[in-house]
Chains A and B, each alone.
Chain A
Amino acid sequence: MTDQRIAAVPGNGLVYRDGDIVLVAGGDEAPNNALAERLIAAMSGVGDAAGVRALARLLLDEPEPPPVAVVAIDGRTASIFAFGDLDIVVGEQRLSAARSVLGLNEQVDTTEGLAVVAAGTSPPEILSWASLGSGAVSGAGVVVVAHGTSVADVVAPAADDVEADAPDPDDAIEPEEEVPTEEPAAEHVSGEFEIPVLDEPDDFEVISLEPDVAQREPLPVDDAPDVSIDSDDESAPGPAYADPVDVLGVMSPRGHFNHPEARYCSRSGVKMGASHTKVLVNGARPPLGVVTFDDGATYTVQWNTVLGRDPFMDDAVRAQTAAPLVIVDDSQSVSRRHVLLELVDWDVLVSDLGSQNGTSIKTVDAPERLLGTGERVVMRSGTAIRFGNRSFVYNEHHVR
């Protein structure tokens, strides 16, 4: 058992200690008796993460769960699970559990002392003789006194100093949401775009939201394969690159059209029977694979595509034999038309469109190299393509 002294912060909530495990429930408000008893029952005898998860489940079923923290002390570190209006004070640092739905789940160093207190409050002075051995008492929180230090050392910055961290119901989404903006890793810079500062408030056009199109039909209830995203705009016929292309393939036992050499159906995973492999039939070429970009965006490879910052000037795009795919890149390292993906039979070929900075390819079994002028390479699962600051990885649908 830890040799660290644990003391309850005076208050009306529940504080419970069993060995190295400490529970704080309710903050300064007493949880109802039945719940308090269940919490204590759930805690006793469990000193590991599984116990903490069991407790979390118990609380998630409560209509209005009280603020709860569980601290499992293990030598100089402690695992903490907390949610609701509680702050965890570790040395100079303050962690707020108030905004976390699934709870705060942290491992902290206890060398500097540790306290669980009601949100926005500071750990109080603990009398030198106060110590909670085991069992349940009333309290609003706990102070784990750092070994060999006085309680005063545990006192955290006053609540006022950390006001920005205190829960504010009107503003609760802010801190979580800001995280992504703070971590644009170098490779991801291009995944964002800046809205230009536009200080001409009249330089925009409002789009009327009055329905000027005939009311659409409800979606079919039965699984209808022909609900096309183009079908809702009859005036715009599909581009030529989207026209179906017939290829030779085989049917899987479940009726999925597959690569002629497929040993397993790419959709259902069933083994292609011997009888099926012999019958080559003409069918519309299914999407061949998926490209996944560095920023997590995905693109289904189903027709020829020109990738670039501004691919619309490409001849094939103008002739509608290739689709444009705009690649956002503020660093301008990607050319206007940079990479071409071509579908030939059952293969996807990648080539560089004479870009300024070139395109590099890395396959599973070869080191990265630059694509030569006019060179077209068949992509396989795991083929990684880098162009400027952006990159993608290709994943084939069919299993070879």
Chain B
Amino acid sequence: MTRVGDYELVETLERGNHGVFYKAVPPARLGIDDDFVALKVMEQHSTDNEFRRVANELRVFASVDSEHVVRLLDAGQQHGRLFYAMPWHPDGSLETPAGIVSRAQCVRVVADAARGAHALHEVGVVHRDIKPANVLIAGQNGRLADLGLAQLMTPGMTTTGVGPVGSIEFMEPDVIWGEKAARSSDIWSLALTLHQGVCGEGVFGEIPESNVLDAFKHVLHQRPALSDVLGERLTPVVERALSEHRSDRHRTALEFAEELDNLEGLE
């Protein structure tokens, strides 16, 4: 049987350069009723300093008391590899939902994820990796999962290589240019996640999957082009969140969420 720590691995969900996501059976010591958890196992950490920094980040993440942030159940290390467990979400994520997500539900779910991001920002944490795969669906509500730890493990690393090349399009270009991540970085990613969820397409047109350099130039040198599918009510909200200058965007993720809340009656 394959194990990590005292977790039994059930299946591999996602795999990339910096870690692997598993569906796993949690150990009895956690005292939870759930049959399964999502277990992330990071690539071997590099230095004690970086490891400590990541562990600190996880502690802060765990301390966030918000129903819109996925609970961190457990963390540990084995042979220098960091792992952490989160509850299993059978409804899936905005990237791979278990059912059809309507426009109204998508907006609600992203607004919730924005509230989750705000809760993180209030304790000094930037998520850094908000994308459809990290916005989990829990019935009619949404939850923000995971953290972009790649930048902490390896400063300068902006994307993890998890998933297709196209996932770089959710990164704020400013961060790729070398700016420090801030509230506005997550707000940018939330807006792109909303666009992808509602329109089923990104804002950079066809990203050439086969050529990473072209994909990169796309994201770095093009202004986002919003789809008509977004509709006249969502477009101004997304436009503002994608302003070229950070100071023109929503000041907080909560403000972004509240603007979405005010669009009642989308269905």
Report A's interface with B, CB cutoff 8 A: 56-57, 60-65, 83-84, 99, 101-102, 169-170, 172-174, 176-178, 180-181, 191-193, 195-199, 201-213, 215-230, 232-233, 236, 242, 267, 269, 286-287, 290, 292-303, 305, 312, 323-326, 328, 382, 393, 395, 397
Question: Assuming A218-B124, A290-B216, A298-B159, is B183 touching A197 (CB within 8 A)?
Answer: no
Which residues in A have their C-beta under 8 angstroms from that of B59?
A: 208-213
* Chain A nearest CB, measured from B46 CB (Å): 6
A/B interface sample: 15 pairs, CB < 8 A: A63-B102, A101-B96, A169-B99, A174-B11, A192-B17, A198-B78, A201-B5, A201-B6, A211-B62, A218-B121, A221-B183, A223-B184, A293-B161, A299-B156, A300-B177
User: Do residues A204 and B6 form an inter-chain contact, with CB atoms below 8 A?
Assistant: yes
* B252-A298 in contact (CB<8A): no
- Assuming the A-B contacts A209-B59, A324-B46, are A178 and B12 also in contact, with contact meaning beta carbons closer than 8 angstroms in the complex? yes
List residues of chain B with CB within 8 A of the CB of A212.
59
Known: A64-B102, A65-B100. A290 touches B72 (CB 8 A): no
Max count, chain A CB within 10 A of own CB: residue among B55, B96, B122: B96
A325–B6 Cα distance when bound, in Å, is: 30
Give the residues from 121 to 161 in chain B that come closer than 8 angstroms, CB to CB, to chain A.
121-126, 150-152, 154-161
In the bound complex, how far is the Cα of B81 from the Cα of A198, in angstroms? Answer: 12
**Residues B182 and A224 in contact, CB atoms below 8 Å apart:** yes
Contacts of B235 in A (CB 8 A): none
Q: How far is the CA of A130 from the CA of B251 in the complex (A)?
A: 63
Contact assessment for A197 and B55 in the assembled complex, using a CB-CB cutoff below 8 Å: no
Across-interface contacts of A302 in B (CB, < 8 A) = 156, 178
Is the beta-carbon distance between B100 and A219 smaller than 8 angstroms?
A: no
- Assembled-state Cα–Cα distance A221/B81 (Å): 35
B175 nearest CB neighbor, chain A only: A300
The yes or no answer to B181 lying at the interface (CB within 8 A) is yes
5 interchain residue pairs of minimum CB distance: A216-B124, A297-B161, A287-B178, A204-B78, A172-B98
B56 adjacent to A213 (CB under 8 Å)? yes
Identify the interface centre among A56, A65, A101, A300: most chain B CB within 10 Å of its CB.
A101
**Is B247 an interface position by the 8 A CB rule?**
yes
Which residues in B have their C-beta under 8 angstroms from that of A298?
Answer: 157-159, 168, 176, 216
Q: Does B263 contact A (CB under 8 A)?
A: no
- Shortest Cβ gap from B164 to chain A (Å): 7
CA distance A171 to B62 in the complex (A): 27
Q: Kindly identify which residue among A191, A225, A267, A292 contacts B216, using a CB–CB cutoff of 8 Å.
A: A292
Residues of A within 8 A of B74 (CB): 206, 209
Could you say which of A207, A221, A287, A293 contacts B17, with CB atoms under 8 Å apart? A293
Given known pairs A219-B126, A225-B180, A233-B53, the reply for A295 and B156 (CB within 8 Å) is no
**Cα distance, A170 to B11, chains bound together (Å):** 14
**Chain A residue nearest to B133 in the complex (CB):** A177
Residue in B57, B63, B78, B181 whose beta carbon sits within 8 Å of that of A227 in the complex: B181
Tell whether, in the assembled complex, residue A177 and residue B79 are in contact, meaning their CB atoms are under 8 Å apart.
no
